[in-house]
Amino acid sequence: MPEIKVTPLGAGQDVGRSCILVSIGGKNIMLDCGMHMGYNDDRRFPDFSYITQNGRLTEFLDCVIISHFHLDHCGALPYMSEMVGYDGPIYMTHPTKAICPILLEDFRKITVDKKGETNFFTSQMIKDCMKKVVPLNLHQTVQVDDELEIKAYYAGHVLGAAMVQIKVGSESVVYTGDYNMTPDRHLGAAWIDKCRPDILISESTYATTIRDSKRCRERDFLKKVHETVERGGKVLIPVFALGRAQELCILLETFWERMNLKAPIYFSTGLTEKANHYYKLFITWTNQKIRKTFVQRNMFEFKHIKAFDRSYADNPGPMVVFATPGMLHAGQSLQIFKKWAGNEKNMVIMPGYCVQGTVGHKLLSGQKKLEMEGRTTLEVKLQVEYMSFSAHADAKGIMQLIRMAEPRNVMLVHGEAKKMEFLKDKIEQEFTGISCFMPANGETTTIPTNPSVPVDISLNLLKREAAFGGPLPDPKKPRTMHGTLIMKDSSLRLVSPEQALKELDLNEHQLRFTCRVQLQDPYSDTDTLSRVYNHLKSVLKGYTVQHLPDGTVMVESIVLKVSSSAEDPNTKVVLLSWSYQVTPGCTIQGSQLPH
Amino acid sequence: YTSHLRIEQHPHEEVPAKKLRLTKPSKSAALHVDLCKASSPTDALQYLLQFARKPVEADSVEGVVRILLEHYYKETDSSVRLKIASLLGLLSKTQGFTPDCIVDDVINTLNSERSHQVLAQLLDTLLVIGTQVPESLNMRHRLIDVACKHLTDTYFGVRNKCLQLFGCLGSVDKPLPRESEGGGTGMAAKDVQSIISDYFGDQDPRVRTAAIKAMLQLHERGMKLQQIIYNQACKLLSDDYEQVRSAAVQMVWVLSQLYPESIVPIPSSNEKIRLVDDSFGKICHMVSDGSWVVRVQAAKLLGSMQQVSPHFLEQTLDKKLMSDLRRKRTAHERAKELYSSGEFSSGRKWADDAPKEKVDTTAVNLIDSGACGAFVHGLEDEMYEVRIAAVEALCALAQSSPSFAEKCLDFLVDMFNDEIEEVRLQSIHVLRQISTHITLREDQLDTVLAVLEDSSRDIREALHELLCYTNVSTKECIQLALLELLKNLTKYPTDRNSVWKCLKFLGSRHPTLVLPIVPELLSTHPYFDTPEPDMDDPAYIAVLVLVFNAAKSCPTMTALFSDHTFRHYAYLRDSLSHLVPPLRLPGRKLTSAPEASGLASSVESAQNFLKESLTRVCSVQQLDAPGAQSLLEFTIRDLQRLGELQTELAGTADFCATYLHCQLLLMKALQDKLWSVAVPLYLKQNAMVSGAAAQVLEETYKLEFLYSGLESRQIASIHHVRLQAKALQLVLLARTRRGVEPLLSACEKFLHEVDAFQRLFVTELPHFQDSFVDKLLDIMPRLAGSKPADLVKILQTTLRHSCFPQLKLPEQIRRATAAIIEPTGESDNPLRFTSGLVVALDVDATLEHVQDPQTTVKVQVLYPDGQSHVIQPKPADFRKPGPGRHRLITQVYLSHSAWTEPCQIDVKLLLAYSSSTSRSLGPRSAWNESTEGPTPLESTIEGTIPLSKPVKVFIMPKPARR
């Protein structure tokens, strides 16, 4: 029985270090190769020794596919390819290929240069790794080898995020990576066609959440910023460099444009600037509005947003500043925060979750006095706002994707076990016939498949058969046909029997059934025969009954012969012979001869 | 080579025979020769393509068709046959050609055709023919039979066309008649719907689509679809192909409109619901379809499902939020709660959106009946087309259900923040349309007002319009609105008029809310005198407009005014009378009393007055000339004054006055003594008369095209006057005696016009008893034969002895007017630009009661040296803020060679007319189509009427520096 095996090495009932092994139709594919942000030891990377104890991975894996550039989806890539050893193709979309090395390099710098870790991949390794990357386009079917093909679909989430369909023969798997079913200010919504995969591997970060409309949140955000700026206050928005930051920029930029506002907006430089450059380039990956208007003006060509300089923080008057990092634990954002915290006119807007222990977390939990290093305390007078902009599909979105793709099985990864449990129940309850899996890391799920085996049919045979039946081949009604199935090498062909014989160089054997019937008849053999002949002739109207000169009677294709038995000349033996296709019903009735 | 040879052989035998049969041999013969010359299928195809580019006259069509068919039988190449088949279809569309004669041929060819593509094309031709002759039942049956026969074809195109034939020609009234001889064809006995519905399950998506479309076509043609196909249609909603789904959505919708109340079971449960609710749920489901085309379709259709139960309707806005399995309130709910707890505008606390109670996991249904949150999805969609469709649907549904309107308010307000301006604008318009049902809460108003800062003028003006119709609940709201509007005013001073107007309505809608804040607004103090505000400050005027309008229905308010307020009132009442209503002020009773008297009765009395003056004018005939003239003069003066006083009747009064003025002019011109004297001596009088005639002509064009609401009777009157003026001109021409030739042609022209008048206004003729035209028509046969001199003589006497037809007034006549708001003509700074280059001048104008301004309104620029340019604004520059009103915001490009001093140019709006686009409806248009003979001079007359007062703009083209 053919089957598909899926084993999560990471992201099984967990968020972080996404890495899923799929074996399908004899091919092994690794989906994503991420790292875990929560660990600093070996648990940081997936356990590649699961695949092979020693030696390179190349011979075990046919390809690696990276869904998007977030580190929990691609962070372990240089480690795997350069340090563990993998030389096969790595597939990712163009924007991912462009942005991924920037993030990897940044990650490397932090771990090696700042934290001083050794035994980590080097810049050169990142470069070497990127050389193995084969870029993908949306909806482009790429043949990895003769049998394995992959196809990327738009996933929203971040620039260049993709869902991939992996197909071997008629078996297929869809892996979603992270995706978003509601569009935002710079990206569209995920979309997939009704590809009916055998299994859909979906993320489930928000398995138990149904989110509110995005517009309220956007409006709130804009209103707050606007009010503060009008009051003459300064707004600090700590962000992570990529993804949400761009969305917020677009949001503010268009708002400034619409409302004719003059207050400056700054963006702290560095990483972000480089990334912004790529956002400008990959316009086709953004949403409808940006795609349609970029000819007049590229939306990422910000008019109101300028690069930030350290000295600007002390400038009088209102301003808005985007600064990294997002949790206010270090760097520029913290510096600016310290400067502005004392004034109640100012505001800080936290656009994401904050890890416990960071300044951001303390702020959100309402602390008004913060202890800083050096035993100083910082009085927080400025307003603190929290604004969640998340780009994952919620429970409804996940259901919507399942409805779009119509898979036969669903597997949930990239989420918490308890939440998955709920969604799993819902999926099985609301889609009849779909079974749902949620394996833990290292746990293999096996899904039996029912692949259709294509058979070539000879045209002559097809035409002959079509001539018998109705005019249209009706896919819903099976039909029987006579033919010979030839399995030769790896090809299957259906041909007519004659042709099969010819091809296989075999002689045709005829199969005939015989039967003896004893009659008591005093006449000679020939007379008996003619009597039988006359009788049959009178009984079997509508059949051709022939008396042949060689002493036989033919009824259609049935042959009758009469001979006297050796012991008793009066007992005549009638020999009947027919081929296997004939139903001998009629002849049996005729055996009662009149005396 | 074989085909080549075969074709070569034929022409010699055939050509002469053909020539006899054709009335106009040129075209068909040429085609025939071409086709015969063709040596290969490609050549033949080329000829056919060339041939298709030129039109064919109706009478030679048949010949051409014969040739084509003949060639068709011989042709072996299927692509040529295909082209011929398509040409046949094209030809049968020719006007004046009845295609039933070629049906037989086409059906014959159909039977012998092998190629599926050609078959499909032939069926298409039949479809064209069938739609050309919709009356012939017999032919329809034949075509349907043909379609039945080919329905089982293996090629999808053929099946498609057959289904189309069914859709367009299948008989609507009853199942196919049995007359087709004892049900010999089993199919014919079956009814069309079940035949078509068999193909809902076809293996080809294109055929499935065609089947649904055919069904929809039947519905459009008036056949009642059967309910049994509902289930099939629902199944098709989950088809793999978008065009099928899109058509299926329409089908489900149609059925839901046909059988809203029938009951259908819910699968997997025992419950039953109304069909309209069921289909509503299903269509809602399609709002989250994978294809945006389907989503747009679904969202649009939702708007028209007004019979749906409120329970289902309200689900569309509810997404049942949860977070970590806990029930969560939406931001909208939270805002409402905050507001009702009096905590609005307090700062937001961390985690106040924290989820509350635990959700029962078994009760959560993530997809179920799709109505849940359909609009939430639709409004959040990636494609703006879907969002707009959703907004429109919301509007339609809200208009029929006040409770739903209340609920969707928040969502519409959210749409004010959309990234695409079109969507924002649309949602503002929609909110205005449903604003009768709703009262804005303070927090909602706050979000609405935030949009006032938008840099797009359209958005702001739409919002002002919205505020005019909005109800608010508290005095804080009024304050908030005023504050934001004033902010808007300072930021965009050009919005002045619009803001004032907005405040006018706001004040008159909420007098009781304005009352408590009046002292604050006018910054008066109970004990101290406050400084008098600057009267020219637009913001102060804005406040006053609000207060005065509120005071109109709140008499106690005036007690709060301080002295200068009264003075300012008097000033504003004079200068901005359209914004400031008449108030009953204490101590000023005398001046204000008459104005405040019941408006309705004054309109009535004015109307009576109007009628009386018109009947009085009728008696003009009985009076002697000077008496009649003075009566007319008085009446005209009265009417003009009436128009100024009563704005409701301005159009009517103006129209009458102008009409009477024409009469007066004619009357003066026809005075006895002018004509009795020998001609050469009275050149001066001649000039006077010809001037009068010309003026009358001009006035008649104004009468005809400047006023809307005219009926054909009034138009006839106008034409009648015009005819009189033309007769007068003719008489004058005869008297100047410049030879017979021009006179002859002028007479002929005039007679044509009389004739045209008669044809045009046959139905109106009874009203013209004893009038000029009536008399002329009486002697028409004699006129036609008479010499010009006689004609002129007759005309002269008829003119003088005929009476004026009485003018009967229609209900409402409106005069088209226009006012240029910008440029104001007040600027002293000349617009400088380099001569030879262009400078753009912003023009902003309002048009009232102009029909079809996109084509008729033009901008004229008159330079000091007499040059004038007429500029046609782009259609997109016209907006329609309200019924009968248009707004023109455009740029006019000016250019001129250098001047030495700054100089003023005149800019004004023109109304272009041409009598062929005249708006008299019935008789005129019908007649226009049917005329083929000599087109009367009339229909070619084009011209312009000045529509607005000219505005002077100071410009200064400087010589270019070298």
The predicted-structure confidence for A213-249, as pLDDT tens digits, reads as follows 778 788 888 888 998 998 899 999 888 767 778 888 8
Alpha-carbon torsion, ordered B550, B556, B560, B563, to 10 deg: 90
- Report pLDDT for A429: 84
Average pLDDT over residues B900-915: 83
Given a cut of 70, is residue B54 above it in pLDDT?
yes
Given a cut of 50, is residue A38 above it in pLDDT?
yes
Angle at B40 between CA B38 and CA B43, to 5 degrees: 55
- In chain A, the residue whose alpha carbon lies closest to the alpha carbon of B154 is A472
Contact: B420, A474; criterion CB under 8 Å: no
- In chain B, the residue whose alpha carbon lies closest to the alpha carbon of A251 is B419
Spatial separation of the C-alpha atoms in residues B906 and B58, rounded to whole Å: 52
Q: For residue A218, list chain B residues with Cβ-Cβ distance below 8 A.
A: 417
Q: Tokens at residue A381, please?
A: 């007078």
Which residues, other chains included, contact B443 with Cβ-Cβ below 8 Å and sequence gap of 6+? B335, B336, B338, B339, B344
Cis peptide before B531 (omega within 30 of 0): no
Which residues, other chains included, contact A181 with Cβ-Cβ below 8 Å and sequence gap of 6+? A156, A189, A190, A393, A394, A396, A397, A398, A400, A401
Nearest CB to B417: which of A183, A193, A219?
A: A219
A403 touches chain B (CB under 8 A): yes
**Dihedral sign, CA of B586, B587, B590, B592?**
negative
Q: Is-contact A349 A237, C-beta < 8 A?
A: yes
Spatial separation of the C-alpha atoms in residues B441 and A450, rounded to whole Å: 60
User: Could you list the active site residues of A?
Assistant: 203
Q: Is-contact B51 B87, C-beta < 8 A?
A: yes
Least confident of A57-66, A179-188, B433-442, B617-626: B617-626
pLDDT bucket at B353, cuts 50 / 70 / 90: low
Angle at B380 between CA B418 and CA B332, to 5 degrees: 85
β partners of residue B862: B868, B906
Kindly report the nearest CA distance between residue A47 and chain B, in angstroms.
30
A326 touches chain B (CB under 8 A): no
- Report pLDDT for B681: 57
Given a cut of 80, is residue A36 above it in pLDDT?
yes
Nearest CB to A385: which of B321, B348, B418?
A: B348
The per-residue pLDDT for range B325-341, each reduced to its tens digit, is: 566 666 666 666 655 55
- Report pLDDT for B181: 39
- Report pLDDT for B825: 74
Contact: A260, B414; criterion CB under 8 Å: no
pLDDT bucket at B358, cuts 50 / 70 / 90: low
pLDDT bucket at A438, cuts 50 / 70 / 90: very high
Q: Is-contact A304 A256, C-beta < 8 A?
A: yes
Contact: A216, B331; criterion CB under 8 Å: yes
Given a cut of 60, is residue B21 above it in pLDDT?
no
pLDDT bucket at A325, cuts 50 / 70 / 90: confident
Kindly report the nearest CA distance between residue A144 and chain B, in angstroms.
28
The per-residue pLDDT for range B520-551, each reduced to its tens digit, is: 888 877 777 777 888 888 889 999 999 999 88
**Dihedral sign, CA of B617, B618, B623, B626?**
positive
Q: Which of residues 475-494 of A touch B (CB under 8 A)?
A: 475-476
- Report pLDDT for B953: 86
Given a cut of 70, is residue A410 above it in pLDDT?
yes
Given a cut of 90, is residue B611 above it in pLDDT?
no
The per-residue pLDDT for range A558-585, each reduced to its tens digit, is: 888 888 777 777 788 888 888 776 554 4
Kindly report the nearest CA distance between residue B878 and chain A, in angstroms.
22
Cα separation values, B582 from A265, B114, B349, B578, B605, Å: 50, 85, 50, 10, 20
- In chain A, the residue whose alpha carbon lies closest to the alpha carbon of B355 is A209
pLDDT bucket at B184, cuts 50 / 70 / 90: very low
Q: Tokens at residue B391, please?
A: 């907004």
Q: Is-contact A75 A11, C-beta < 8 A?
A: no
- In chain A, the residue whose alpha carbon lies closest to the alpha carbon of B423 is A289
Closest C-alpha to B390, from B399, B381, B378: B378
Q: Tokens at residue B425, please?
A: 């604008």
A111 touches chain B (CB under 8 A): no
What percent of chain A stands above pLDDT 70? 94
Q: For residue B361, list chain A residues with Cβ-Cβ distance below 8 A.
A: 422, 425
- Report pLDDT for B938: 42
pLDDT bucket at A333, cuts 50 / 70 / 90: confident
Given a cut of 60, is residue B598 above it in pLDDT?
no
Q: For residue B240, list chain A residues with Cβ-Cβ distance below 8 A.
A: 194
How many contacts (CB atoms, under 8 Å) link A and B?
125
Kindly report the nearest CA distance between residue B710 and chain A, in angstroms.
45
Spatial separation of the C-alpha atoms in residues A222 and A385, rounded to whole Å: 12
Backbone angles phi, psi at B708, to 5 degrees: -110, 160
Contact: A396, B348; criterion CB under 8 Å: no
Q: For residue A425, list chain B residues with Cβ-Cβ distance below 8 A.
A: 361
Instruction: Give strand ranges (E) for A146-194.
Output: 148-154, 162-168, 171-175
Which residues, other chains included, contact B471 with Cβ-Cβ below 8 Å and sequence gap of 6+? B435, B438, B439, B440, B509, B510
- Report pLDDT for A92: 94
Given a cut of 80, is residue B499 above it in pLDDT?
yes
A360 touches chain B (CB under 8 A): no
Contact: B361, A425; criterion CB under 8 Å: yes
Contact: A289, B288; criterion CB under 8 Å: no
Taking each helix axis from N to C end, the angle separating A214-231 and B402-415, rounded to the nearest 10 degrees, works out to: 60
Task: Indicate if ipTM > 0.90.
Answer: no
Task: Measure CA A185 to chain center.
Answer: 26
Three-state DSSP class for residue B398: helix
The per-residue pLDDT for range A300-321, each reduced to its tens digit, is: 888 888 888 888 888 888 999 9
- What integer best gives the mean pLDDT of chain B? 78
Backbone angles phi, psi at A27, to 5 degrees: -110, 145
- In chain B, the residue whose alpha carbon lies closest to the alpha carbon of A418 is B324
Contact: B417, A257; criterion CB under 8 Å: no
- What integer best gives the mean pLDDT of chain A? 84
Angle at A327 between CA A325 and CA A330, to 5 degrees: 55
pLDDT bucket at B457, cuts 50 / 70 / 90: confident
Spatial separation of the C-alpha atoms in residues B612 and B608, rounded to whole Å: 6
Cα separation values, B702 from B584, B705, B813, B913, B917, Å: 40, 5, 13, 10, 14
- Report pLDDT for A113: 80
Most confident range (mean pLDDT) of A395-409, B357-371, B631-645, B685-699 is A395-409
Average pLDDT over residues B452-456: 85
A433 touches chain B (CB under 8 A): no
Q: For residue B415, list chain A residues with Cβ-Cβ distance below 8 A.
A: 215
Spatial separation of the C-alpha atoms in residues B378 and B390, rounded to whole Å: 6
Q: Which of residues 243-272 of A touch B (CB under 8 A)?
A: 254, 257-260
What percent of chain B stands above pLDDT 70? 81
Closest C-alpha to B693, from B660, B726, B668, B717: B726
Given a cut of 70, is residue B3 above it in pLDDT?
no
Kindly report the nearest CA distance between residue B324 and chain A, in angstroms.
5
Kindly report the nearest CA distance between residue A364 and chain B, in angstroms.
6
pLDDT bucket at B935, cuts 50 / 70 / 90: very low
- Report pLDDT for A362: 83
Cα separation values, A356 from A330, A362, A418, B851, Å: 14, 8, 22, 68
Nearest CB to A182: which of B380, B454, B491?
A: B380
Contact: B320, A210; criterion CB under 8 Å: yes
pLDDT bucket at B592, cuts 50 / 70 / 90: very low
Alpha-carbon torsion, ordered B593, B594, B596, B599, to 10 deg: 160
- Report pLDDT for B338: 57
- In chain A, the residue whose alpha carbon lies closest to the alpha carbon of B410 is A216
- In chain B, the residue whose alpha carbon lies closest to the alpha carbon of A471 is B154
Contact: B379, A385; criterion CB under 8 Å: no
What percent of chain A stands above pLDDT 90? 23
Which residues, other chains included, contact B311 with Cβ-Cβ below 8 Å and sequence gap of 6+? none
| Burial tier of A352 (Cβ tally within 10 Å: 0-12, 13-18, 19+) | middle
Given a cut of 60, is residue B18 above it in pLDDT?
no
pLDDT bucket at A152, cuts 50 / 70 / 90: very high
Contact: B368, A430; criterion CB under 8 Å: yes
Contact: B414, A289; criterion CB under 8 Å: no
Q: Tokens at residue B812, please?
A: 């409402």
Alpha-carbon torsion, ordered A118, A121, A123, A124, to 10 deg: 120
Least confident of A115-129, B367-381, B446-460: B367-381
Nearest CB to A210: which of B319, B447, B450?
A: B319
